[in-house]
Amino acid sequence: MGTPDIVLCRIDNRLIHGQVATQWTGSINANLILVANDEVAGNKLRQGLMDMAAPSYAQTRYWTIQKTIDTIGKASPKQHIFLVCETPEDVLKLVEGGVPIKKVNIGNMHMAEGKRQVVGSVAVNDEDVAAFRKLQELGVELEIRRVPQEPAEDLNKLFK
């Protein structure tokens, strides 16, 4: 198994959507958007909507967390992968499964019951925070940034 070229891993509860997908994919020079999400992997309707939002120069894949762990090592060196996940827990499963994620961009985590808003587009609960801490312990760099043009937010806000 080779080492896949994962240029960025992003957490976004909407996964691939609109300008955000295009801006990130372009700014990191990715040519493959891989959505690692158990629900979407089996949902052709959601895949079709995301394919419409993805930039035309990038391929898309929709894999379960397990398939991503099992298969990403077979990626060609020509594939520059933008990995998109819904939750930090999913990212942690990938990292613990051996997926070589170096950096996680925390984009959109919507407000929900039991969550607290950290910055405008990010709300977390204790499980999320625990997953982020564990990712840091495993040497993964974290940043909170909605779109590439904006400066990153203060990461300490996550852990307050």
pLDDT at residue 160, as a whole number: 81
Answer for the pair 114, 39: CB distance below 8 angstroms, yes or no: no
Of the residues 5, 13, 14, 17, which is catalytic?
Answer: 17
Residue type, 88: P
In CATH, the architecture of 5-159 is 3-Layer(aba) Sandwich (3.40)
Report the C-alpha gap between 157 and 145 in whole angstroms: 13
Distance CA 40, CA 139 (A): 28
Contacts of 48 (CB under 8 A, 6+ apart): none
Rounded Cα gap, residues 68 and 113, in angstroms: 29
Tens digit of pLDDT per residue, the chain (160 long)? 579 999 999 999 999 998 889 999 999 999 999 999 999 999 999 999 999 999 999 999 999 999 999 999 999 999 999 999 999 999 999 999 999 999 999 999 999 999 999 998 999 999 999 999 999 999 999 999 999 999 999 999 999 8
Q: Is residue 17 annotated as part of the catalytic site, yes or no?
A: yes
Q: Which helix (H) or strand (E) holds 77?
A: none
